[in-house]
Structure 1
């Protein structure tokens, strides 16, 4: 049996065993030419955004995930049992279905997990056995992206065509720091459209969550914003036209919307209006920063309000919680090593350590669940506006890009305030034999 096929069978077996244990109603690295360039994000903010930062911090201060999470017991999660939508958000496309978990060679965590034993296996399971958003970008050629996505979908669904598949499309070229320095060439623009059409063909009728272009605020520094706007709108439109695909345009984070201006929701709405929000389900927050659910729900709700005023209707959003177990605003982030940038934050090595990164709330549709003990105001907003807490950030990777770093993953597994998944991680069926 081929490795991808065997991995798919493993996925189905893992889910079946974990679900049977519940009494509740939840690899080798992908080859890349180089890790994405580290963004040059702002370290200072204007007067207005500084006030916003202080307001978010004040309203989040009483919420300590380490205090509320450490007392929780493992429970069935969305990859094991479908979760219902809230009455306030009945059209949530992420609800009412199980989320697929990819267990195969395109994932940087799966192979180390299979090779691990004992306590290390327990910690890596907190990442490997949960649904994560796979990033696809220009390192996969136009002529290979369709087959690559098709294999990813098959493994993630493991025989269940109703399972949700997640992907982040990081395809614009140039991007991040380079986007500020030169325009996209005609060849790059043509290739972008071909690549996106091939992705759409591969997705077809698959239930799919797409995060469009992490680090989208780099759009502001592009010398060819008009051309890039057309490309983003094109990609968002053709993917959103698929019957079961929902696109969430990256909108930065609760502390990042536009270089030099921090987190002003109006700037986020400006960005989204330029890159195709009218075609999308909504937007995504915190793909590469370290802010928490409280700050992002507050911030995202203000963006929803701004978009509605502009005539875009009621948009929804998702929040990355993979790295928000200890929320930290960007100016306060401490890099993992001297001379590094904030993109590679140091990891928490104890549950009391601050200004560090560790795993946050597990992926879920039930963003206002009692388990998270969120403040009442935040829970009310989450029920209305947030489709899910989703793991599309990758803090266990060097610079959140490549390669996988075992010590980072172990540190976060040991320091997270939240329990691991409800599954027997030492079962024979998980040993990859």
Structure 2
């Protein structure tokens, strides 16, 4: 074989390889090998949130119903400003979720309580309060350390709301940016900024909030927390935000969708039409499997987000969008607690487990 023949064959092979690459179907942005949430998820079996003890002590059908929550990974909320309790509770939660397996994913949400809560939007944060926020985040970061973790971080109360104007929006957003950057430096932690749902903020407003809150440092954002919109509406919303973030200079962002309590999806506006004096948290747990505009368990948490078109009433385009931008369905909401966030309410849990359309 002459040198010219060898060169010719190499050129032909190179062109063929380039054509094969160019004509190959696009790989979804969240291929399993690049999804940081893929792999084993840990299950909390401690006593802190009371769901697992309720399952352990139940019998018969009640045990099977409790299992629908207790045996599925769901994100605990950490918001107590007491640093000692934060370290103790978070450390215990990590230990009783991983059970000695460092590769088991631990999921939780960090919601540091702003001073004076929602009613205090008109009161600027003092330097001492700002320092306390950063110290709280630093303490959480040190406690997490090398843990393989998914963290949902809330920038809420940095926006104006019907309850009042936020006088120091820039200060609060700078603190959330600090938290996003600090937590994202942890070697095995994946951070998502909570951004509400499509019935709350329009996509342009949500995008600006994420940029101001430090989405540049994070994997992306979380959609649907404490709201009950459908998976289809949530993935369309997430896709619009991802596109806007890319145009703003932050490409490749991903989302997680909260499906803990949207088994019978509805919007805030629909709930307001159902109740004479609308309160979002006044919406009750579904009493039957046929009732609508009520709260019940949604599709179980998983990174396998496609292949559920019929069960979730999705279009093919929405299913493709799930593959492209969504890392996982997660359970961040807590419909088994009073008003979705109070004390553990076993009767609510059992009722939600009975009425869910999902096994």
* TM bucket, shorter chain: 0.7 to 0.9
Q: Secondary structure at the match of 1:219?
A: coil
Separation of aligned partners in 2, 1:340 and 1:375: 31
Question: Which residue number in structure 1 is paired with residue 35 of structure 2?
Answer: 92
User: TM-score under structure 2 normalisation?
Assistant: 0.85
- Residues 194-227 of structure 1: CA deviation (Å, up to 9, x unaligned): 111111111111111111017x265334211111
Q: Give how far 1:180 is off.
A: 2.7
Q: Secondary structure at the match of 2:110?
A: strand
Separation of aligned partners in 2, 1:322 and 1:336: 22
**Conserved in 2, the CA contact under 8 Å of 1:325 and 1:361?**
yes
- Residues 66-119 of structure 1: CA deviation (Å, up to 9, x unaligned): xxxxxxxxxxxxxxxxxxxx8541321101x11111111221322322232222
Counterpart pick for 1:310 among 241, 248, 256? 248
Question: Which residue number in structure 2 is paired with residue 412 of structure 1?
Answer: 352
- Residues 349-402 of structure 1: CA deviation (Å, up to 9, x unaligned): 111111101101100101112474532111100101001000001111112111
Q: Give how far 1:335 is off.
A: 11
Separation of aligned partners in 1, 2:285 and 2:302: 23
**Conserved in 1, the CA contact under 8 Å of 2:272 and 2:278?**
no
Counterpart pick for 2:133 among 176, 181, 192? 192
Question: Which residue number in structure 1 is paired with residue 184 of structure 2?
Answer: 240
Question: Which residue number in structure 2 is paired with residue 131 of structure 1?
Answer: 73
Q: Secondary structure at the match of 1:411?
A: helix
Q: Do the aligned partners of residues 176 and 340 (structure 1) sit closer, same or farther apart at CA in structure 2, a change above 3 Å counting?
A: farther
Counterpart pick for 2:270 among 323, 332, 342? 332
Question: Which residue number in structure 2 is paired with residue 255 of structure 1?
Answer: 199
**1:223 and 2:167 matched:** yes
Separation of aligned partners in 1, 2:273 and 2:157: 21
Aligned residue runs from structure 1 range 122-161, under 5 A:
122-137=64-79, 139-161=80-102
Question: Which residue number in structure 2 is paired with residue 46 of structure 1?
Answer: none
**Conserved in 2, the CA contact under 8 Å of 1:268 and 1:303?**
yes
Q: Give how far 1:175 is off.
A: 7.0
Question: Which residue number in structure 2 is paired with residue 280 of structure 1?
Answer: 218
Aligned residue runs from structure 1 range 113-124, under 5 A:
113-124=55-66
Q: Give how far 1:182 is off.
A: 2.1
User: TM-score under structure 1 normalisation?
Assistant: 0.71
Counterpart pick for 2:328 among 371, 388, 401? 388
**Conserved in 1, the CA contact under 8 Å of 2:121 and 2:157?**
no
Q: Structure 2 stretches of 5 or more lacking a match? A: 1-26
Q: Give how far 1:339 is off.
A: 6.6
**1:352 and 2:293 matched:** no
Number of equivalenced pairs: 325
- Residues 116-160 of structure 1: CA deviation (Å, up to 9, x unaligned): 2222211111011100101001x2512332232121111101121
Q: Give how far 1:338 is off.
A: 8.6
- Residues 276-302 of structure 1: CA deviation (Å, up to 9, x unaligned): 111111000111111011000001100
Question: Which residue number in structure 2 is paired with residue 9 of structure 1?
Answer: none
Separation of aligned partners in 1, 2:193 and 2:242: 13
Q: Secondary structure at the match of 2:215?
A: coil
Alignment root-mean-square deviation, CA: 2.1
Q: Do the aligned partners of residues 370 and 252 (structure 1) sit closer, same or farther apart at CA in structure 2, a change above 3 Å counting?
A: closer
Separation of aligned partners in 2, 1:284 and 1:352: 29
**Conserved in 2, the CA contact under 8 Å of 1:217 and 1:252?**
no
Separation of aligned partners in 1, 2:228 and 2:42: 25
**Conserved in 1, the CA contact under 8 Å of 2:29 and 2:252?**
no
